[in-house]
Amino acid sequence: MSLQNQQVVAPTEQTSSAWLLDISGGLTVAVAAQDVIYVYPEAPQVFPVPQSPDHVPGVVNWQQRLVPIIDLGIYLGLPQAENYSSAIKVMALVTLGDAKLGALALEKIPERAEVADSSQCELPANLQAWHLLALSCFMHGSRGAVPILDLNTVFGSQLSPGGSAQRVVCRDRGSAA
Amino acid sequence: MSRQVLSQNAEQLMAVLNFAGLRLAVPLAEVHSLSSVLDLDDSQANASILAQVEVNGRELPAFGFDAELGPLHSVPDDYRVCVNLGAATAELGILCQSIETLEQTVSEEALPACLSTVSSMVKGLALHNEEVLLCTHFSALVAHIAAAEQVGAGALLSAGEAS
């Protein structure tokens, strides 16, 4: 697996490591480096769970633990590429604290980035949902504003139908239309 | 507080209903009897109830579900068993292709918050021989049927009141 470092700050400034995650729909989000515990270079077997939200393709068996998968691009209603396949290509296993795990469906293998406080910026204005899903945001040299995910919200009940984040996303989709 | 990871419930003996490629596990204690679909009465079937099954002199509503756990409106040819379920006594039948009882207890884990929807009958998941079991129970089935089909709920409640 090839992982590239993206230096986005002056060499003398103290930085924190993060992973850049490309979600379906062409957006990039980030999580702290220590939050990603494994990257599936090829998607593992996904067990669908009927009657679950559309953005949750199912669960994956990780060392005898069933871990829910989130496809944020679908959740945000982002337009998918014409050749977009529902099959998940790459998946990142993230830790949520208290020994809890989640998996994020991705388009590509994640990249590392070094993030400095000075690169903090406003959340992108195009999606109101970022205010619920993201803790903060930083400006990346080539990718622009990159929201840093609040993983406990992403994997919490707020994204379920009727949840607070779901209502915001519905407004986003309405605006986009 | 969100519960992203499956918190563990008590282990219990389960029966697994196989249909439409799904494996739906219910507590063995809630399985009262089995009937053949050949013994079902579909003369009063409606939009939500597939048929009626007689259990101990009572006519109970029987339901069936597809691969998305949506209600069936006709009995598929390969659904051959009616599993009669209830908390204390049998209250409804669920049609399936086959049923098996698991020899060992299953450790059911609560459904993660991000997977939950209010009306879903799936309340937990379990791993059994590298397969994922969808776990439900009688009261969750009743709530699901009531939410999905008001007519069916009425019929279910009527059946319950008549007993």
What confidence tens digit (pLDDT) does each residue in A29-48 have? 999 999 999 999 888 899 99
What confidence tens digit (pLDDT) does each residue in B4-37 have? 444 555 688 999 999 999 999 999 999 999 999 9
Q: What is the pLDDT of residue B79?
A: 96
Contacts of A69 in chain B (CB under 8 A): none
Q: Which two tokens stand for residue B111?
A: 């459904």
Which band of pLDDT confidence, cut at 50, 70 and 90, is reported for residue A104? very high
Q: What is the pLDDT of residue B5?
A: 40
In the stretch 138-157 of chain B, residues with CB closer than 8 A to chain A read: none
* Over residues A57-78, mean pLDDT: 92
Q: What is the pLDDT of residue B155?
A: 53
- The partner residue sitting opposite B115, judged by closest CB among A56, A61, A99, is A56
Q: What is the pLDDT of residue A94?
A: 97
Query: What single-letter DSSP state applies at residue B38?
Result: G
pLDDT, block means (10 residues), chain B with 163 residues: 47 94 96 95 83 94 94 92 94 97 91 86 93 95 83 50 45
State whether A52 and B122 contact (CB < 8 Å).
yes
**Cα A102 to Cα A96: distance, rounded to the nearest angstrom:** 7
> Tokens 């419930």 identify what position?
B9
Q: Between B150-162 and B138-148, two packed helices, what is the crossing angle to 10 degrees?
A: 130
Contacts of A53 in chain B (CB under 8 A): 114-115, 117
- The partner residue sitting opposite B127, judged by closest CB among A61, A98, A159, is A61
Mean pLDDT score across all residues of chain B: 86
B6 touches chain A (CB under 8 A): yes
Distance from CA of A143 to the nearest CA of B (A): 28
Query: Is B125 in contact with A51 (CB distance < 8 Å)?
Result: no
- Domain ranges for chain B, please list them: 11-104+127-162
ipTM of this predicted structure:
0.81
A177 touches chain B (CB under 8 A): no
Name the burial class of residue A160, with classes exposed (0-12), middle (13-18) and buried (19+) by CB atoms within 10 angstroms of its CB: buried
Helix H or strand E segment including A171: helix A164-176
Q: What is the pLDDT of residue A168?
A: 55
How many helices, marked H, and strands, marked E, lie in chain A?
A: 4, 12
A61 touches chain B (CB under 8 A): yes
State whether B118 and A161 contact (CB < 8 Å).
yes
Contacts of B130 in chain A (CB under 8 A): 61
State whether A59 and B109 contact (CB < 8 Å).
no
State whether B113 and A156 contact (CB < 8 Å).
yes
CATH topology of domain A13-176: OB fold (Dihydrolipoamide Acetyltransferase, E2P) (2.40.50)
Q: What is the pLDDT of residue B44?
A: 78
Contacts of B6 in chain A (CB under 8 A): 65-66
- Looking at the predicted structure, is the pLDDT value of residue A105 above 70? yes
Name which of A6, A173, A32, A25 is nearest A107 in CA terms.
A25
Mean pLDDT score across all residues of chain A: 84
What confidence tens digit (pLDDT) does each residue in A114-173 have? 999 999 999 988 888 888 899 999 999 999 999 999 999 999 887 766 555 555 555 555
B103 touches chain A (CB under 8 A): no
